[in-house]
A = this chain, B = another copy of it.
Amino acid sequence: MIIREATQADFQFIWPIFREVAEAGDTYAFSTNTDEQLALQIWLDTPRKTFVAVEGSQVVGTYYLKTNHSGPGAHVCNCGYMVAQDYQGKGLATAMCEHSQVIAKELGYKAMQFNFVASTNTGAVRLWHKLGFQTVGQLPKAFEHPSLGYVDALVMYKWL
Contacts and interface: CB of A to CB of B under 8 A. Distances in A.
A66 interface: no
Contacts of A142: 69, 73, 76, 111, 113, 157
Given A69-B116, A72-B145, A137 B138 contact: yes
A17 interface: no
Contacts of A72: 25-26, 28-29, 118, 143-146
Interface string A131-160: 000001111111111100010010101010
Contact of A136 (B115, B116, B140, B157): B140
Interface of A: 22, 25-26, 28-32, 34, 69-76, 110-111, 113, 115-116, 118, 136-146, 150, 153, 155, 157, 159
A145 B26 CA distance: 36
18 contacts: A26-B72, A29-B72, A30-B70, A30-B71, A31-B74, A32-B71, A34-B71, A72-B146, A73-B142, A73-B143, A73-B144, A76-B139, A111-B140, A111-B141, A113-B142, A136-B137, A137-B138, A140-B157
